[in-house]
Amino acid sequence: MKIYMNVYRTLMFTLILVLISVTNGISQTRNSQPPFPFQNPDLSIDERVNDLVGRLKLDEKVKQMLYNAPSIERLGIPEYNWWNEALHGVARAGRATVFPQAVGLAATWDTDLMFRIATTIANEARAKHHDAIRKGRRGIYEGLTFWSPNINIFRDPRWGRGMETFGEDPYLAGRLAVEFVKGMQGNDPKYFKTVATPKHFAVHSGPEPDRHVFDAIIDERDLRETYLPAFRAAIIEGNAQSVMCAYNRFRGEPCCGSNELIQKILRGEWKFNGYVVSDCWAIMDFYNTHKVVGSAPEAAAMALKAGTDLNCGVTYDSLGVAVRKGLVSEELVDQSLKRLFRSRMQLGMFDPAGRVHYASIPISILGSKDHRKLALEAARKSIVLLKNENNLLPFDKKIKSIAVIGPNADDVEVLLGNYNGVPYEPVTPLQGIKRKVGKKTKVLFARGCDVAENMPYFEVIPSQFLFSDDTQGLKGEYFNDHKFEGDPLIVRVDSTIDFNWWENPPIKGMRADSFSIRWTGTIVPPVTGKYSLGANVFGGFRIYLDDSLLIEYSDRHVVITQWKDVYLAVGTQHQMRVEYWDRRADASVKLVWAVPNPKLKEEAHAAAKNADVVIAMMGLSPRLEGEEMPVNVPGF
């Protein structure tokens, strides 16, 4: 009997183990399956997209059609910001490899070079994107959908954005656009590396201030031979997955509400099956400036019916109202939403990282030796020599002195263009000339003038003119939030305000994405006259002088210099307070001024007289031309 009982216990114990094993296996099998079909990478794109959109409520759908789409936690859908820039390198996202501005790349006439550049940009974009996700960041300029290239035809120098384009020739613009798109989107059979977005569709250029009211009326031949070829090539040959519609009207209709442009030509003739995104706040123009409709819901309905899927702006917040009022159907909402989620899935955003080989591109490639070598090749090929009179170039190595004259000679900002990233080691022309000639040749520098009237030449305010009690510099109070609340984390004296923190916090223990700093002390001017006093920042700042607010500014899109003019007397002490705050990565701040200098012309003449050769660094600056910039200079 005892033997039977032992056998019985053994059999029962074995059976229990088997049951536990089977149960665990079933559980593991169940757990290995994603909770929703749209999360299953083994299903078709159509099955996944239909499943996802079918689970959304109308208000959730509408929010996903805004550029800053929020998360949907109940479905495990993370937030996503569609706004990213890559005109000539990954832009507005801190350090990256910066290539020549687009019009400079066009001057290379090199399609293979353009493809290699776009491939490099896309690789850095992928590296940045996945690094941001690992750090828990999914904000603006940290995504994979890039609003580049700008392939409008540069016909009007008053536009101010011509340097963003590939110039005035439709054929050249098309050839370069195709290679840019192919390089950005990659050649993987399942996943896109990034999504490229040719812009601004269409017939968009001319005086920049008129873009919100202008109606482009042109004949059919000019449309087909001038303004559309580059877009057609980018879509049909390049397989671009997105297009951005323009601010202006075309033949009476706002471009983002144009049935002729979007439905007839883009989707009908060219069979485009990607998504259309509006230029930023362009749909608001429908009722604010174009006056073609009277309200936000009507504007949203008009744009959606025409085929604009994604709104950079806020007007699509009114799509729910438009549906409930019967201005547009929910079926059209679903149609656009499916295009958007299709692109996100084709970028691998809902798949395990191990399935998307682009996700393994390391952050170490940013600004790598090979990437800088490619940027140098592009810079060399972009140079256009118009005339070499008397074979002046190359210079004789026996030249003993060179005068470098001009405000652009030693200004890093001139190197950057616009819609740019920040290069790792920028070299100004003056620095490059000095490195090239070494100690054998004397290099004299004179600024000569400002870039233009009311465009001062800024430099960081040196420590010898800043004081905190009896110490050179300003007292800095560092707060672990962006509102200067509570006690500062640390207090210290900073000799100057000249900081680039990039993705790092100012000091160990502080947040990288949300902090503030207050600097206080006195400033003592070295000469009497009109000073331009301000800051070069990525973030927001205020400057108080003698307890009065001098200037306040905040921008999350670009590094920019803002200033005000003040009259200061030599040796006088002025109380100064500088407040800076940052709410996302890649923070930077510089306290700058332009010191009165009435002898600029005399200094330039003296340098020229004492040199064998003069190199004049002339030309424009990003402070003089760019998107919808207020420039207080005659002629701009």
Question: Does 438 score more than 50 pLDDT?
Answer: yes
Contact 216, 250 (CB under 8 A): yes
User: pLDDT band for position 5 (50/70/90)?
Assistant: low
> Percent of the chain beyond pLDDT 90?
83
Give the integer Cα–Cα distance in Å for 107 and 355.
Answer: 39
Q: Are the CB atoms for 458 and 446 separated by under 8 Å?
A: no
Q: State the pLDDT at residue 464.
A: 97
Specify the amino acid at residue 385.
Answer: L
Structure tokens at 145: 């959908």
How does residue 502 score in pLDDT terms, banded at 50, 70 and 90? confident
Spatial distance between the Cα atoms of 80 and 345, rounded to a whole number of angstroms: 12
Q: State how far the Cα of 191 lies from the Cα of 180, in Å rounded to an integer.
A: 17
d(C-alpha 592, C-alpha 588), whole Å: 13
Angle in degrees, CA 530, 531, 537, rounded to 5 = 155
Give the model's confidence band at 23: pLDDT under 50 very low, under 70 low, under 90 confident, else very high. Answer: very low
The helix/strand/coil state of 556 is strand
> Would you tell me how many other CB atoms lie within 10 Å of the CB of residue 473?
18
Any bridge partners for residue 196, and if so which? 146
Using alpha carbons only, give the angle 535, 538, 541 rounded to the nearest 5 degrees.
50
CA dist list (Å): 166 to 26, 433, 445: 59, 29, 33
> Which residues participate in catalysis according to the annotation?
279, 625
Question: Are the CB atoms for 279 and 234 separated by under 8 Å?
Answer: no
Asked whether 154 and 208 are in contact (CB, 8 A), the reply is: no
For the chain, domains (ranges, CATH) are 37-365 (3.20.20.300), 398-447+599-636 (3.40.50.1700), 459-596 (2.60.120.380)
Q: Can you give the pLDDT at residue 9?
A: 57
Give the span between the Cα atoms of 437 and 124, in whole angstroms: 34
In whole numbers, what is the pLDDT of the chain averaged over residues?
93
| 58: three-class secondary structure by DSSP | helix
Which residues in 169-300 belong to E strands, given as ranges? Answer: 195-196, 215-216, 242-245, 249-250, 253-254, 275-278
Per residue in 212-240, pLDDT tens?
999 999 999 999 999 999 999 999 999 99
Joined together, the tokens standing for residue 477 give: 């109070």
Q: What is the pLDDT of residue 43?
A: 97
Residues paired with residue 613 on neighbouring β-strands, in sequence order: 402
Q: Which residues of 423-440 are buried (b: 16+ CB within 10 A; e: fewer)?
A: beeeebbbeebbeebeee
* Phi–psi pair at 528, nearest 5 degrees: -95, 140
Q: pLDDT grade, residue 349 (50/70/90)?
A: very high
pLDDT tens by residue, 135-185 = 999 999 999 999 999 999 998 888 889 999 999 999 999 999 999 999 999
Gyration radius of the chain over CA positions:
29
Task: Please state which of the ranges 14-18, 67-71, 267-271 shows the lowest mean pLDDT.
Answer: 14-18
Q: Would you state the pLDDT for residue 37? A: 97
- Please, which residues bridge with residue 245 across strands? 201, 278
Give the residue with greater pLDDT, 208 vs 600: 600
Determine the residue type at 428. Answer: T
Which pLDDT score, from 0 to 100, does residue 27 have? 42
Confidence check: pLDDT of 4 > 60? no
Sequential DSSP letters for 237-249: TT--SEEEEPSSE
Distance, CA of 134 to CA of 484 (rounded, Å):
28
DSSP state of 150: B
pTM of the predicted model over 0.95:
no
Is the Cβ–Cβ distance between 296 and 315 less than 8 Å? yes
- Per the CB < 8 A criterion, the answer to whether 266 and 228 are in contact is no
Asked if residue 613 has pLDDT above 50, the reply is: yes
SS3 386: coil
- Burial of 273 (C-beta count, 10 Å sphere; 0-12/13-18/19+): exposed
Q: How many CB atoms lie within 10 A of CB 172?
A: 16
Residue 246 scores a pLDDT above 80? yes
CB-count exposure of residue 44 (10 Å: 0-12, 13-18, 19+): exposed
Better-predicted residue by pLDDT, 9 or 445: 445
Helix runs in 330-407, H state only = 330-346, 369-382
- Strands 498-502 and 515-523, by their bridges, are unpaired
Q: Please, are residues 612 and 400 in contact by the beta-carbon 8 Å criterion? A: yes
